[in-house]
Amino acid sequence: MFSEIPMTDVHSTTIFTNRKVSLLDGSFGVLYTPRTETNFCGILAQSEIFPQRVSNEHIHSYTVIGSIEPVEKILDTFKKLTSLTSENILHHEHYVWKKSIPVYNRPRQEQVLKIQDSLLQQKTSIAFFGNYLFAIGLKDLVRGAQSL
């Protein structure tokens, strides 16, 4: 029943730079709306979020999420948004996380309800919970666990 929940791939490109992106200094990152002229959903400031992972204070890393564009186009957009140049980009790594995030639509919601109803009718001791039941948030996780 879980396998019937529609899932989507997530693309990410981690970019290592020799210069800090001032726009993201001290932040978690930035999200872009579909109206923004970018070809991706957001940028995570990895070296700001996890400073203990940075062994060299002159190397910074940023992860661009949500683009299916070729890596060259992602890098070009990243450079325009951050005012960095090709010389500032030391290395990049691109990943495709297959079927990693549920599609938040009506069929997904109906399938989750079907799974919950099935568990309640069977009076089983099996419980399921996680970020992707109804919404993302601790309150929803607790509510989901209590209802099961």
Q: Is 115 helix (H, G, I), strand (E, B) or coil?
A: helix
pTM > 0.75: no
Does residue 100 register a pLDDT over 90?
no
Q: For residue 82, what are its two tokens?
A: 């951050």
Q: For residue 68, what are its two tokens?
A: 């299916």
The per-residue pLDDT for 86 is 95
DSSP letter for 19, please. S
Concatenating the DSSP letter of every residue in 65-86 gives ES--S-HHHHHHHHHHHHT--G
Cα 44 to Cα 47: distance, rounded to the nearest angstrom: 9
Q: Give the tens place of pLDDT for each residue, 46-84.
A: 988 887 777 777 899 999 998 778 899 999 999 998 999
Is the model more confident about 45 or about 144? Answer: 45
